Amino acid sequence: MADVVKDQEARLLLLPQPSRRPETTARQPAPRRRAPLPVSIHTIWLRPFLDRLAKRIISLGGIAVIASILAMLAFLVMEVAPLFLPATARPIAQTSLAKPPAADEPALIGLDEHRNLAYVIKQDGIVFLELESGRVMPVELPPALQGKRITAMAQSGNPLSGHMVGTADGLVIPIKIAITTVRLESGARAKQPSIAAATPIKLADVPITALAYRAGDHGSGIAAVTESGELALIRLGSESDEHGSEAGLSRVPLPQVQGRLSAVALDAPLLNLYVGTDQGQVHHVRLTTPDRAEWAGAYPAEGTDDAVTQLGFLIGDRSLVVMTRNGSVSTWVQVRDPSQPGGWALRQNHRFGPQRASVTTFSSSQRDKGFVTGDALGAAYLRHATSERTLLQLPGTGAPLVSVALAPKADGLLTYDAGGRLTLYDLHNPHPEVTWGTLFRPVWYEGYDGPAQVWQSSSGSDDFEPKLGLAPLAFGTLKGTCYALLLAIPLAILAALFTSQFMHPSLRAAIKPAIEMMAALPTVVLGFLAGLWLAPLLERLFPALVGMAVVLPTLVLLAAFLWRLCPRSFRHRFHHGAEAFWLIPLLAGGILLCLLGNDAIEQILFQGNFKVWLAQAFGLRYDQRNAVVVGIVMGMAIIPIIYSISEEALSNVPRNLVAGSLALGATRWQTVVHMVLLAASPGIFSAVMIGFGRAIGETMIVLMATGNTPIMEWNWFNGFRTLSANIAVEIPEAPHGGTLYRVLFLAALLLFVVTFAVNTVAEVVRQRLKSRHGHA
């Protein structure tokens, strides 16, 4: 043992020993610093210049972005603002007749489309005047009108279809007033009026006091009230219209109407006759056949003491305007009522502010659902039925108004008072049907049994009532967004959670870009596939989809349980998180099983037909293009956005926090739930809000996959229409500057404001989450 120790010591002595520095008392010189690299004068000058230039370019870019947003907002406001401007009218011409009308003398006025020439049908004939100069134009009366005292007059729904006058000797005479434009030798243009009259029709032996006349595709009809209180109705055939004979004339026997008759109205299809009485009643007579009529009911206009003074129709002859002696004005429509004779009843759908005196005259617009009423104090009121508001009040001269007329283009208003004065007003009223109420509240439209929120901007007829309610479009936007987020949020956040916290980095590096590449898919392609491929496929395989909703989660839970039963040595052979790939064949098998068992699932769960079962069990109708299709496809479109931002937020949680939690004994799942999610919550919330903004502005997918039905139902199995899709559909056909055009810009402004508000609230919430949890 002693020999071994000596041998080791000898070996140590043979090893080289480290040299020792000699100790000196003198201070060693400090090492010389490296000389700085030479810098040219150009570098010293250029670097600050480039820094300032970059700073200004960045600032300019930010200012340009803000200015662009403000410019878009200003443009939208400029396009929308005219919708809410009030109607205006200014007098542009006034003239007087040489002989003013006598007390209670009726009259009917009209004017041409250029507002140059007016006519007055009065007791002693028909007068034409140039409104600018006041010159009376000589026109010879037809022989049928010469020597007749006119006691009542009426015009068809369209003045071009003709007029009807009643005389003191009980005759009714169809007349036609024409105003043509002729070119003079000098090249100037002049208006040339003319009057044509058909053969008079003997209706009674006493004067006609009230008259209603309609002529159109359904034939012609005349309803008259005589001085003795009798009501008569005759139909005119085409032979009578062409040759002026009574060969095609037929008298329709009418039921007895109680009370003194004061007004009468007949609709264009010759199906309904309305009679007003001095007791405030409106009697409805239904014309069931060309030669038969039956009493359908009586309805109080306002009160038993308020006599009905005027009855008239709006364009289309579906809304009846009832006016009374106390100045009340209301519109009435027919609605379904099984308790009434014929299954229909008359109901008041709009009521307007009362006038200060008895309503004496009425004229409806030939362009929209507007009309004008005049009263005994000389005031004229411009109203609109759809918006249920009085747009304009003209005080007048104080003399009672005898007649009023709206210009054919609704750009002028002509009044005729008891003093013989004709006053022409220039009328500016481009958007009478738009109010905040008509846009966002239920409106009682023609043809509906009650108030409803409807969007229907166009129709095939000129008398269509536009329905511009934005509420169904806003509801559809919210519905599509909610269903898309219902699928996208859990899938995207859970996928981000798994790839950032549980998956091996090498796998994450391959999977994350693959998911993010989904965002590059064009939405028009997704919409095309959704509408033409997925929607029909889903209609056939909907029971299989229901089965997948049960089978696939069950398989995932079963696979997780079986994985935990595997030996630890077997599980450690795979990268962390790679066990998820074992789910692919399992889920594929589950999907295949559900597809093959589609008929069996439908038979077991839905009694053989899921569409019938939905209708019987829940009253739901299944449409092929529905919210489920949109929810799936649009959800897949926004998953990459929410996933990418959420994954970055989760991955950027400091690793020392995660390591500290694990070191204190928390499991990986406890660390993720109680620490990582809270720290990354601001970023996750931002991801959800960006996905919300992406979904709320989506156009092509909802345009091609929903059916574009603007209805307000949360039913998963019917379609809807969004604000953005509606703009894309309607804007190509909207006339520039028209009401529809500006309402579509209002929808765009609404989207802009909602998106801005949501982003602002989201940023406020994100900042609060960041300050609370200390990590962005």
Quote the tokens at residue 347.
């109901």
- How far apart CA 690 and CA 485 sit, in angstroms, is 11
pLDDT value of residue 43:
66
pLDDT value of residue 243:
40
Question: Higher-confidence residue: 342 or 676?
Answer: 676
- How far apart CA 178 and CA 175 sit, in angstroms, is 10
pLDDT value of residue 751:
92
The three-class DSSP label of residue 666 is coil
Mean pLDDT of 600-617: 90
- How far apart CA 609 and CA 597 sit, in angstroms, is 14
pLDDT value of residue 160:
61
pLDDT over 90 for what percent of the chain?
A: 46
What contacts 323, CB < 8 A, 6 or more positions away?
308, 309, 310, 311, 312, 329, 359, 362, 373
pLDDT value of residue 666:
87
The answer to which of 38-52, 266-280, 332-346, 564-578 has the lowest mean pLDDT is 38-52
The whole model's pTM is what? 0.85
150 sits in which H/E element: strand 150-155
The three-class DSSP label of residue 624 is coil
pLDDT tens digits for range 709-759: 898 988 889 889 999 999 999 999 899 999 999 999 999 999 999 888 888
- How far apart CA 110 and CA 130 sit, in angstroms, is 12
Q: pLDDT at residue 241 above 80?
A: no
- 8-state DSSP, 385: T
Buried-exposed string 390-401: b where 16+ CB fall within 10 A, e elsewhere? bbbebebbebbb
- In 3D space, the residue among 82, 160, 299, 230 whose CA is nearest the CA of residue 745 turns out to be 82
233, 237, 240, 243 alpha-carbon torsion, rounded to 10°: 170
- How many CB atoms lie under 10 A from the CB of residue 174? 24
Amino acid in position 639: I
Q: pLDDT at residue 25 above 60?
A: no
What contacts 206, CB < 8 A, 6 or more positions away?
170, 226, 227, 228
418 burial via Cβ count (<10 Å: 0-12, 13-18, 19+): buried
The three-class DSSP label of residue 85 is coil
Quote the tokens at residue 727.
């703009």
Q: Taking a C-beta distance cutoff of 8 angstroms, is the pair 265, 212 a contact?
A: yes
Q: pLDDT at residue 159 above 70?
A: no
Q: How far is CA 649 from CA 324, 342, 493, 659, 766, in A?
A: 71, 68, 11, 17, 12
Q: How far is CA 508 from CA 44, 188, 575, 587, 732, in A?
A: 45, 84, 11, 21, 46
Mean pLDDT of 138-163: 85
- How far apart CA 512 and CA 643 sit, in angstroms, is 9
- How far apart CA 13 and CA 68 sit, in angstroms, is 86
158 sits in which H/E element: none
pLDDT tens digits for range 80-114: 999 999 999 999 999 988 888 887 889 999 998 88
DSSP per residue, 628-644:
HHHHHHHHHHHHHHHHH
pLDDT tens digits for range 453-480: 999 988 767 678 899 999 999 999 999 9
- In 3D space, the residue among 762, 540, 534 whose CA is nearest the CA of residue 637 turns out to be 534
pLDDT value of residue 184:
72
Q: pLDDT at residue 440 above 70?
A: yes
pLDDT value of residue 759:
84
- How many CB atoms lie under 10 A from the CB of residue 687? 25
- Sorting pLDDT into bands at 50, 70 and 90, what band is 41? low
Quote the tokens at residue 695.
């979904």
* Averaged confidence pLDDT in the chain: 86
Conformation bin of residue 229: beta by default, left when phi > 0, alpha when psi is -120 to 50: left
pLDDT tens digits for range 695-716: 998 888 998 888 888 989 888 8
Helices (H), 244-285: none
pLDDT value of residue 11:
46
Q: pLDDT at residue 225 above 80?
A: yes
Expressed in percent and rounded to 5, the helix, strand and coil fractions of the chain are 40, 25, 35
User: Which H, E and C letters describe 440-506, residue by residue?
Assistant: HCCECCCCCCCCECCEECCCCCCCCCCEECCHHHHHHHHHHHHHHHHHHHHHHHHHHHHHHHCCCHH
- How far apart CA 104 and CA 410 sit, in angstroms, is 28
pLDDT value of residue 10:
45
- 8-state DSSP, 172: E
